């Protein structure tokens, strides 16, 4: 299963990204345009028929790790995600 993320408060995400990039005029429209750039590179993809839901593509970051704490958190997240997307 691929990990999926949903933006519950997209305007807040864009605002935080604007702060990170020192851009006071960041909107979700501008932020999502930048995200679409990563579709072409297979780093990120949208989930068809699900609004504001995204997943990493084949060239996205690999979250495998030897840290047992991370694995535990990831496992709990995956269980939660399976319940949401089933």
pLDDT of residue 41: 82
Average pLDDT estimate for 54-79: 64
Q: Output the CATH code of domain 4-85.
A: 1.10.10.10
Average pLDDT, the chain: 78
- Confidence band, pLDDT 50/70/90 cuts, at residue 47: confident
**What are the residue boundaries of the structural domains of the chain, listed by start?**
4-85
Q: Does 69 have pLDDT greater than 80?
A: no
Report helix angle 28-40 to 10-20, nearest 10. 80
Q: What is the rounded CA–CA span in Å between residue 48 and residue 63?
A: 23
Among the ranges given (12-21, 34-43, 46-55, 56-65), the one the predictor scored with the smallest mean pLDDT: 56-65
């Amino acid at each position: 299963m691929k990990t999926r993320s949903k933006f519950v408060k997209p305007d807040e995400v864009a605002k935080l990204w604007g702060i990170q990039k020192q851009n006071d005029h960041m909107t979700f429209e501008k932020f999502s345009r930048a995200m679409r750039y990563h579709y072409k590179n297979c780093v990120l993809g949208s989930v068809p028929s699900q609004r504001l839901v995204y997943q990493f593509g084949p060239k996205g970051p690999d979250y495998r790790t030897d840290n047992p704490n991370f694995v535990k958190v990831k496992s709990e997240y995956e269980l939660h995600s399976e319940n949401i997307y089933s």
